[in-house]
Structure 1
Amino acid sequence: MQMARNIKCIIVDDEPLARSVLVDHAQQIDQLEVVAVCANAVEAFGHLQKEEIDLVFLDIKMPKISGLELLESLDHQPLVAFTTAYREFAIKAFELDAIDYLLKPVSLPRFMKTISKANKYLMGSNALEVSDQTAQKNTVSNQQASEPELLYIKSQRKIIKLDLCDINYIESLNDKVIIHTNENEVMTTQRIGYLEEKLPKNKFIRIHRSFIISAKKVAAFNSIMVEVKGKELPIGRNYRAQALSILQKRAK
């Protein structure tokens, strides 16, 4: 890949595996200079304030401050390519003038296309034409039809990739969290509140301080419990109003 000058970039993602994939891709491109690899938006904000960055590979779903919120907080925005396992933010990303929207796991050829696009911008090309934006949105739509939404979990010194469609419910038990899937149970020490922040709220519902459920896996419910895969799970008092509101809307 020929580029006129170095592209200084930072990688921002709270998932170690996702960061590692992007770093590995970046190392394949000689003129791409990775200035920093950040585990959260606050860390990235510090780098963006201190030095001039050409391109940011930015995750969307991160604890405390999302990638979208980080981008909106910047007075002077670098080029941004969102990297995410979630599809529903594509339109918002383009409204914020992101140059690309990459669905995880990001392949090297797809990564290289983003670098090529960034290079054209930095060489003085005009902003994306409307037709190009439409093409990007169509690409995202095509990816949405074929690629699963994913959740990365730390479990037994490994990073495990779970398809959101396979998750039935999540249970917090003492100092562990158990993710009940179609095939097995995955145990992690990551907090249930952290996982709640990573999950799309239109598909997963917090019903109790100890339970998050997949909305589409609900077989039955009433004012005090939800049945998921033959198991009755309690609805906590503090979560009842919101949980029932969502469940009732879906039942209509």
Structure 2
Amino acid sequence: MIAKIKCIIVDDEPLARDVLEGYAKQIDQLEVVAVCANAVEAFGHLQNEQIDLVFLDIKMPKINGLELLESLNPAPLVVFTTAYREFAIKAFELDAIDYLLKPISLSRFMKTVAKANKYLNGANGQGSSESVQETSNPNPASEEPELLYIKAQRKIVKLDLTDISYLESLNDKVIIHTSKSQIQTTQRIGYLAEKLPKNHFIRTHRSFIVRLDKVTAFNSIMVEVDGKELPIGRNYRSHALDVLQKKSS
């Protein structure tokens, strides 16, 4: 059974709060921990409780939604809910997983919850092996990126995908191990997994993604990359071993 997604709703408009809370209560997987009228109130909940997802308005008095997200490290998944289109680019630069324009329909809200569930399953390793496999299907070759752009040390860094050996999630950061160096980013491993071509990279554990052609050995509990043994997590084992075995045959 997949754990409920603990969420908070942050909006200075009472009607907007009521609409979102009403939608959330119709979705069994969501647990509304708090409904907040401003960013300061929300910040208190985020500091003292384990929150998975925030539905966050942008234009609010004193501290707006963008400023609140920038103050959080690490941050939960954030969905911006706003009447203004002009903040979308900034929102996605801050790794928001979605941007909902008011008025928000129930069907659009449900799509966002499904996306959040996908991110959380990938990030926490709580999904079934079936859901892991679904997100690991190969992309068509024509759609595969050759480069990965990440945020690191307050700048955008361009990485050649062939240089990457593996990615390691550690506390509130991800370390990208390449043939030349180690690069740290605060972007989530689940977010990065979505950006990598699935027929060259595979999630083997909640904390590890490896490049398939860098694997030099494996068994039922580990893969060896660059002379290091990296674990294969239980929820990823069936699919990971299937892919690794096919790759080695």
TM-score by length of 1: 0.49
3-state SS of the aligned residue for 2:191?
Answer: coil
CA distance in 1, matches of 2:70, 2:43: 11
Match of 2:57 among 36, 56, 59: 59
> What does residue 75 of structure 1 align with?
73
Instruction: Count residues with an aligned counterpart.
Output: 129
Letter in 2 for 1:95: E
CA distance in 1, matches of 2:195, 2:2: 26
> RMSD in angstroms over aligned alpha carbons?
1.5
Give structure 1 stretches of 5+ with no counterpart: 132-252
Deviations 1:113-168 (A, max 9, x none): 1100000011116316459xxxxxxxxxxxxxxxxxxxxxxxxxxxxxxxxxxxxx
User: Structure 1 residue 5: deviation in Å?
Assistant: 2.0
> What does residue 37 of structure 1 align with?
35
> What does residue 122 of structure 1 align with?
120
CA distance in 1, matches of 2:62, 2:50: 25
CA distance in 2, matches of 1:105, 1:71: 22
> What does residue 108 of structure 2 align with?
110
User: Structure 1 residue 43: deviation in Å?
Assistant: 0.1
CA distance in 2, matches of 1:91, 1:116: 22
User: Structure 1 residue 81: deviation in Å?
Assistant: 0.1
User: Structure 1 residue 75: deviation in Å?
Assistant: 1.5
**Aligned residues with identical type, % of pairs:** 81
TM-score by length of 2: 0.50
CA distance in 1, matches of 2:64, 2:112: 21
CA distance in 2, matches of 1:60, 1:19: 13
Q: Which runs of 4 or more aligned residues in structure 1 lie more than 2 Å from their structure 2 counterparts after TM superposition?
A: 128-131
> What does residue 161 of structure 1 align with?
none
Letter in 1 for 2:45: H
Matched, 1:18 2:16: yes
CA distance in 1, matches of 2:29, 2:117: 10
> What does residue 91 of structure 2 align with?
93
> What does residue 4 of structure 2 align with?
6
CA distance in 2, matches of 1:82, 1:130: 21
> What does residue 134 of structure 1 align with?
none
CA distance in 1, matches of 2:19, 2:90: 25
Letter in 1 for 2:82: T
> What does residue 49 of structure 1 align with?
47
